[in-house]
A and B are shown apart, each in its own frame.
Chain A
């Protein structure tokens, strides 16, 4: 059988152990982000988890569910952690609060809580913020140097709680590599000149390439721990690389390379940590391949021809919609049938 796999674990895991291992796998990439963005990442992280736990507890109480076991399943912390690293560092507190509100209250609990939500909560939170507050959602500082040295604690507090605009700090926020490619290609600049800009590194976005390598490391560890199966990351990144490669071979002056697509935006984080959310992904082996390949395809389409520089959230949500259909048509052959 093509997709036959033998389960070899002797000690079965429970939900909280699964979620905890996902959190461990997020640590390397998060530490790198912490180095690049300092206080701005730490405030994101504290706010996201604080709001996440708060909203989760309120909703559980309101829905008359036991609070302790559901808070200790760590699922809300995974959601919060993903949004903490997905929203721009130094995000104002209300942006994070609104993102967590959409993720936990609307996308998760209003649909029935853990296990019942059709859409990835973190991605719903992210997408809702991106369409509502595009300015704040694209205000990423440049990851060029040690973050704690650049912006002090007091400045951070002013940015996060004081309502100060990040634009007022000269040279603070910089367009990401994906942003730059998108806007510069519109002015018919050749890609070679665009690549010469400071925001590009040796694999993709400068600094971001290291963060992405760290996500990859964590993701591979999750694979080794059998927390996730190979199907989703492989099909996700495979389809992205395949399509990007095709266009790149046809016209390398107009289309960025597959490596650039892998290491500039949220593709690797999405492939290992977001699309693999079991609740909202397809469950059959063939279905997982179709689901994840679809995400890779939509990311390329939106990045290249759409209105947004990156597209992991939209692509995941689009494919979440068709999961029931995919699952229906990809049932494995049952023994004896």
Chain B
């Protein structure tokens, strides 16, 4: 029996969608045989590329570091199994641009041998300093596994001036088709709870709220049972109404606490830290077992998949391999998505690998895209916007390149959830316009900043030249003056000296003469 003990708050708008969760959540997540090769992208997080520590030809153990973190916003990557590095080269990756990126190609030897690549476990985290644990989380390559892939260790770096009132754990999983967090919460609730306790220790908070949409009653029950058996009364698993996009960080915080993350700010600025359930579990494994993040649950689903399911997948496994493990395609023509139908990105190549952020591989029949009609200002987008924006106005301004006006209407508070485009009766790809406008504004800002730097530099140079000229002139004048005075003085002195010498001679001669 699920009970809501807490008052919950509403978000504006949102959508009730066809969820298709039962397609894939009926059986436990399965381990899969290793693929012929793993393609491990160097950068799987928001930030900068880590530094390579291996080269082609090297043998690596499972969990061995392939690229190290040594700088801000860098996260290491690890070998997902044991084997030989066959190449380090550009390969297609999951990115909206469709561009290639640097990947480490690993040919598994089939032993899946950890060697001694595991890090030292900390069986009792309460005895370890939070800073040490945070460094370990970074070393284990853990990023936000809900999709934002922000380095987890940086998110857990809190400042003493804003105490953290609550840790928010995101188990909402609000996108249709995706059930990997649902399965994880049902199958590994103890590991998630243990990870939560580690995070609470690091950020020093006494309250944790786990938000789970109420279309996952088994997951709620499993999590509540695990909390009960842990005896930790600081943690609560709370069913929240099923409404897309409840799983958005800002939305979940509002629903659970009634507080809003300020525009342009982070949850930490209102004393909240938000992490995904899969991230919590990865943190548990990194601390208690010393294992870096090398595998994750991935949902393979959609009308184009023969046997939708959840799989436990080593990072770097090509999508094609997952699809084969899920019974293959049901039809010849299909569209591949990484992520859910609302926010997922289209994959043009089935060889693209699973990364730390991959929660779902969705195979759908390509739907005919109806031609976009003019906006009739019906306001459906506005009614459904969870950020309470005016999407139709943002669309006008983005389209007419009036970016300052779009910014004034809080373009950057758009979370790109896609609700507006979903309900638009004119089938306008609204989110594409917002992404375009955001990118243009960023470019403009960048250009402006660069121009300012260049102008400052130019002005400084002019000033410096001016100053140099002035100083040179001053120096010259001073020199001349000095030379003048010194020559005057010198002459006098020389005359004086000559006179003195002459007098001395005279005197000497007079002294000599009488002798």
- Residues of chain A whose beta carbon lies under 8 Å from any beta carbon of chain B: 1, 4-10, 12-15, 17-18, 66, 69-70, 73, 75, 113-116, 229, 278-279, 281, 283-284, 327, 331-337
24 pairs across A/B with beta carbons < 8 Å?
A: A6-B243, A7-B14, A7-B15, A7-B423, A8-B16, A12-B422, A14-B427, A69-B373, A113-B374, A115-B373, A116-B374, A278-B376, A279-B376, A279-B377, A283-B382, A284-B390, A327-B393, A334-B387, A334-B389, A335-B12, A335-B260, A335-B387, A337-B263, A337-B413
Q: Does B370 contact A (CB under 8 A)?
A: yes
- Is B165 part of the binding interface, using a Cβ–Cβ cutoff of 8 Å? no
Judged by a CB distance under 8 angstroms, whether B271 is at the interface is no
Point out the residue from B16, B388, B390 that lies within 8 Å of A335, measured CB to CB: B388
The answer to whether B201 has its CB under 8 Å from any CB of chain A is no
A residues within 8 A CB of B384? 7
Contact indicator B374/A335 (Cβ below 8 Å): no
B250 at the A/B interface (Cβ < 8 Å)?
yes
Which residue from A283, A333, A336 sits with its C-beta under 8 Å from B250?
A336
Do A1 and B10 have beta carbons less than 8 Å apart? Answer: yes
Interface string of B346-381 (1 = CB under 8 A from A): 000000000000000000000000110111111110
Is the CB–CB distance between B392 and A331 below 8 Å?
no
Given A66, A278, A333, which contacts B377 in the complex, CB threshold below 8 Å?
Answer: A278
Contacts of A229 in B (CB 8 A): 379, 383
- Is B262 part of the contact surface with A, judged by Cβ < 8 Å? yes
Contacts of B388 in A (CB 8 A): 1, 332-335
- Residue from A9, A73, A331 within 8 A of B423 (CB atoms): A9
- Does B409 belong to the interface (CB within 8 Å)? yes
Task: Tell me whether B34 is interfacial, beta carbon within 8 Å.
Answer: no
- Chain A residue nearest to B422 (CB atoms) is A12
Query: With A and B bound together, what is the CA distance between A5 and B383 in angstroms?
Result: 6
Asked whether A73 and B373 contact (CB < 8 A) given A1-B10, A4-B12, A8-B16, the answer is yes
- Max chain B C-beta neighbours (<10 A), residue from A9, A13, A327, A336: A336
Residues of A within 8 A of B96 (CB): none
Q: Is there an interface contact between B386 and A283, defined as CB atoms closer than 8 Å?
A: no
Query: Given the complex, which residues of A lie within 8 Å of B375, measured CB to CB?
Result: 115
Known: A7-B13, A336-B261. A331 touches B250 (CB 8 A): no
Asked whether A278 lies within 8 Å of B373 as measured between CB atoms, the reply is: no
The answer for the CA separation of A334 and B392 in the assembled complex, in Å, is 14
Q: Is B325 an interface residue (CB 8 A)?
A: no
Chain A's nearest CB lies how many Å from the CB of B454?
Answer: 34
CA distance A220 to B70 in the complex (A): 65
- How near does chain B come to A184, taking the closest CB pair, in angstroms? 42
Q: How far is the CA of A114 from the CA of B375 in the complex (A)?
A: 8
| Docked CA distance A195–B413 (Å) | 58
Residues of B within 8 A of A278 (CB): 376-379
Q: Is the interface of A mostly helix, strand, loop or mixed?
A: loop
In the bound assembly, the distance between CA atoms of A327 and B389 in angstroms comes to 13
Knowing A10-B17, A115-B377, A278-B378, say if A331 contacts B243 (CB, 8 Å): no
Could you say which residues of chain A place their CB within 8 Å of the CB of B10?
1, 4
Looking across the interface, which residue of chain B has its beta carbon closest to that of A7? B384
Chain B residues lying within 8 Å of A12, measured Cβ to Cβ, are 380, 422-425
**Is B254 among interface residues, defined by CB-CB distance under 8 A?**
yes
Min distance, Cβ A68 to any Cβ of chain B, angstroms: 11
Report if A335-B18 is in contact (Cβ < 8 Å); known contacts: A279-B377, A284-B382, A327-B393.
Answer: no
Q: Is the CB of B377 within 8 A of A114?
A: no
Shortest CB–CB separation between residue A22 and chain B, in angstroms? Answer: 11
**CB contact between A18 and one of B254, B261, B378, B386 (< 8 Å): that residue:** B378
Given A327-B393, A331-B409, A335-B260, verify A7-B424 contact (CB < 8 Å): no
Residues of chain B within 8 A (CB-CB) of A115 are 373-377, 426
Does A332 contact B390, Cβ atoms closer than 8 Å? yes
Query: Please, which residue of chain A has its CB at the minimum distance from the CB of B243?
Result: A6
Shortest Cβ distance from A74 into chain B, in angstroms?
A: 12
Known A283-B377, A284-B390; contact A334-B263, beta-carbon cutoff 8 A:
yes
- Interface assignment of B514: CB less than 8 Å from any CB of chain A: no
Q: How far is the CA of A278 from the CA of B383 in the complex (A)?
A: 13
Determine the chain A residues whose CB is within 8 A of the CB of B393 once the complex forms. Answer: 283, 327
Closest Cβ neighbor of A113 among chain B residues: B374
8 Å CB contact of B413 from A6, A10, A327, A334: A334
Chain B: minimal CB distance from A29 (Å): 23
List of B residues within 8 angstroms of A337 by Cβ: 262-263, 410, 413
Q: Using a CB-CB cutoff of 8 Å, which residues 253-301 of chain B contact chain A?
A: 254, 260-265
Residue of A whose beta carbon sits closest to that of B248: A335
Chain A residues near B386 (CB, 8 Å)? 335
Q: Which residues of A contact B11 (CB under 8 A)?
A: 335
Chain B 419-433, CB-CB to A under 8 Å as 1, else 0, gives 100111111000000
Bound together, the chains give a CA A284 to CA B423 distance in angstroms of 17
In the complex the two chains form, what is the Cα distance from A162 to B15 in whole Å?
A: 56
Contact B374 A6, beta carbon cutoff 8 Å: no
- Is A6 a contact of B17 with CB atoms below 8 Å? no
User: Contacts A15-B425, A336-B250: A6 and B392 contacting too (C-beta < 8 A)?
Assistant: no
B475 to chain A, nearest CB (A): 58
- Least CB distance, B240 to chain A, in whole angstroms: 14
Q: How far apart are the CA atoms of A4 and B10 in the complex, in Å? A: 9
CB distance from B20 to the nearest CB of A (A): 12
Contacts of A14 in B (CB 8 A): 370, 373, 425-427
* Residue from the set A9, A113, A281, A334 with the largest chain B CB neighbour count within 10 Å: A334
Pick the residue among B18, B262, B374 that contacts A336 (CB under 8 A): B262
**B424 in contact with A336 (CB, 8 Å):** no
Which of B11, B376, B382, B393 has the largest number of chain A CB atoms within 10 A?
B376
* Contact B409 A6, beta carbon cutoff 8 Å: no
Task: Give every chain A residue within 8 A of B390 (Cβ-Cβ).
Answer: 283-284, 331-332
B16 touches A334 (CB 8 A): no
Known contacts A7-B383, A73-B373, A115-B374; A18/B263 CB under 8 A = no
Tell me the minimal C-beta distance from B252 to chain A in angstroms: 12
Within 8 A of A (CB), among B145-194: none
Bound together, the chains give a CA A281 to CA B379 distance in angstroms of 10
| Residue ID in chain B nearest A112 by CB atoms | B374
Chain B nearest Cβ from A192, distance in angstroms: 45
Complex CA gap A14/B17 in Å reads: 17
| Minimal Cβ-Cβ distance residue in B for A276 | B378
Q: Are B371 and A336 in contact (CB under 8 A)?
A: no
Write the nearest CB–CB distance from B318 to chain A, whole angstroms: 34
A70 and B409 CA atoms in complex are apart in Å by 31
Which residue from chain B places its CB closest to the CB of A335 in the assembled complex?
A: B387
Contact between A334 and B410 (Cβ–Cβ < 8 Å)? yes
Residues of A within 8 A of B382 (CB): 283-284, 332
Q: Among B243, B254, B374, find the residue whose CB has the most chain A CB atoms closer than 10 A.
A: B374
Nearest Cβ in chain B — how far from A113, in angstroms? 7
Contacts of A335 in B (CB 8 A): 11-12, 250, 254, 260-261, 263, 386-388, 413
- The reply to whether A17 and B383 form a contact with Cβ atoms under 8 Å apart is no
Q: Is the CB of B413 within 8 A of A336?
A: yes
